[in-house]
Structure formats: C-alpha cells, structure tokens
C-alpha cells in the first residue's frame, strides 16, 4: 500500500484507522473523510459482523468491504456500498478506482452511494430495530415458559445416564447411614 501511495502521489489522501482507536475519534475521522468526499475501505480477509462498516456507512461514507462475512449482508453491492474480494487485490483496487472516476464524471454518484448506505443502515441496523428484535425474542421465550410445560423427561434421562456412568462407583463408596 505504501508503495502505491508513493507511486501515485497519494500522500495526504489516506487515513489509516488504528484498531485500538477511541470510538469518538473514529466517528470524527469518518465524518471528516465523508466531508471531503472520500470512501471507507475495509479489505479484511473475513469480518464476522462488520461494525466498522456500519459505523462508516452511518457517517455517510461510500464503503468498500470484504465479501466474506457480515459485510456481505450489510452492503447491497452497487447501491449502498461495494463488496471487494480481498484475495483479488487488483479487482478490488480497480473497483475503488472506477468509483472515483465515475464520481469525477458524475458529481452526484458519490451522493447516491452515500445516501444508499444511510438508507440501508436505517432499514436494517438501528438501535431501535435491534431493541425491537431483542424484546421480541425475550417476549417469545418468556411467553413460552408460561404457556407450555417443557418436556423435562429427556433432560432427566440424560442426567440419570450420566450419573450412572460417572458416579456409580462413587455412590457405592458412600457408607449407608444407620437409619437406612
């Protein structure tokens, strides 16, 4: 990356975000990059969920992220961001170049992808949506506890079997009390 930055005279056009950076500073950095019509690129080999992707999109940044893992679900390719394959660096780089070239030809393109990302976040990834899903799941679980009596016979059978296997010798070694 450093060689490419030098080769194409891109010094001052990149901001590296540290993994241990303060979240408030990340938000300010995302906002700064968005204000200067930049983009967020997350080329991880795999990303389980993609919180940084959501943070960047929430800031209005056109986002390029790995197609492996959570970002594949978060981003709608070409509408709210772009999927990149980190194993195909040339294609990923070309996708970023194509985006910025299109932005130079059509100044509304950056805004279109930015708004698409913001809309996607509002559709799927707000605290309100998360809270509602969590409360719904909690309600379903809580309600089912009161409306049905779970079949504990299988669990009891398993416990008895494990006890018999693991503790039978131990049980035999316990002396019987005088009352029995």
| Residue ranges covered by each domain of the chain | 2-125, 131-172
Residue 66, SS3?
strand
Average pLDDT over residues 121-130: 89
* Position 44 pLDDT exceeds 80: yes
Strand order in the sheet with 40-42: 40-42, 63-66, 82-84
What are φ and ψ of residue 176, in 5° steps? Answer: -80, 140
Domain range 2-125, CATH architecture? 3-Layer(aba) Sandwich (3.40)
Q: What is the pLDDT of residue 147?
A: 58
171 or 161: which carries more pLDDT confidence?
Answer: 161
26 or 119: which carries more pLDDT confidence?
Answer: 119
* Position 180 pLDDT exceeds 50: no
Task: List residues bridging with 84 in a β-sheet.
Answer: 66
Q: What is the pLDDT of residue 167?
A: 53
Residue 76: partners with Cβ closer than 8 Å, 6 or more residues away: 116, 120
DSSP codes of every residue in 14-52: --PPPTT--HHHHHHHHHHHHHTT--EEE--S-BSS-HH
Residue 10, SS3?
coil
Distance between CA atoms of 12 and 52, rounded to whole angstroms?
A: 22
Determine which of 61-75, 83-97, 132-146, 158-172 has the lowest per-residue pLDDT on average: 158-172
pLDDT band (50, 70, 90) for residue 151: low
Q: What is the pLDDT of residue 17?
A: 72
Of 174, 37, 39, 60, the residue nearest 120 (C-alpha) = 60
Q: What is the pLDDT of residue 4?
A: 74
* Position 64 pLDDT exceeds 90: yes
* Position 162 pLDDT exceeds 80: no
Determine which of 3-12, 14-23, 85-94, 168-177 has the lowest per-residue pLDDT on average: 168-177
* Position 159 pLDDT exceeds 70: no
* Position 96 pLDDT exceeds 50: yes
170 or 119: which carries more pLDDT confidence?
Answer: 119
């Amino acid at each position: 990356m450093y060689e490419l930055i030098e080769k194409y005279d891109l010094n001052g056009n990149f901001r590296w975000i540290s993994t241990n950076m303060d979240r408030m500073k990340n938000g300010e950095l995302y906002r700064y990059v968005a204000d200067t019509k930049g983009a967020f690129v997350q080329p991880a080999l795999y990303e389980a969920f993609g919180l940084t992707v959501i943070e960047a999109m929430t800031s209005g940044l056109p986002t390029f992220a790995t197609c492996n893992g959570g970002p594949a679900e978060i981003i709608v390719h070409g509408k709210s961001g772009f999927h990149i394959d980190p194993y195909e660096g040339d294609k990923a780089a070309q996708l970023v170049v194509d985006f910025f070239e299109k932005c130079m030809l059509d100044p509304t393109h950056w805004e279109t992808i930015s708004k698409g990302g913001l809309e996607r976040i509002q559709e799927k990834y707000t605290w309100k949506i998360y809270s509602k899903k969590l409360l719904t799941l909690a309600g379903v679980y809580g309600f089912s506890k009161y409306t049905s009596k779970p079949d504990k016979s299988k669990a009891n059978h398993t416990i008895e079997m494990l006890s018999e296997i693991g503790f039978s010798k131990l049980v035999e070694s316990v002396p019987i009390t005088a009352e029995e």
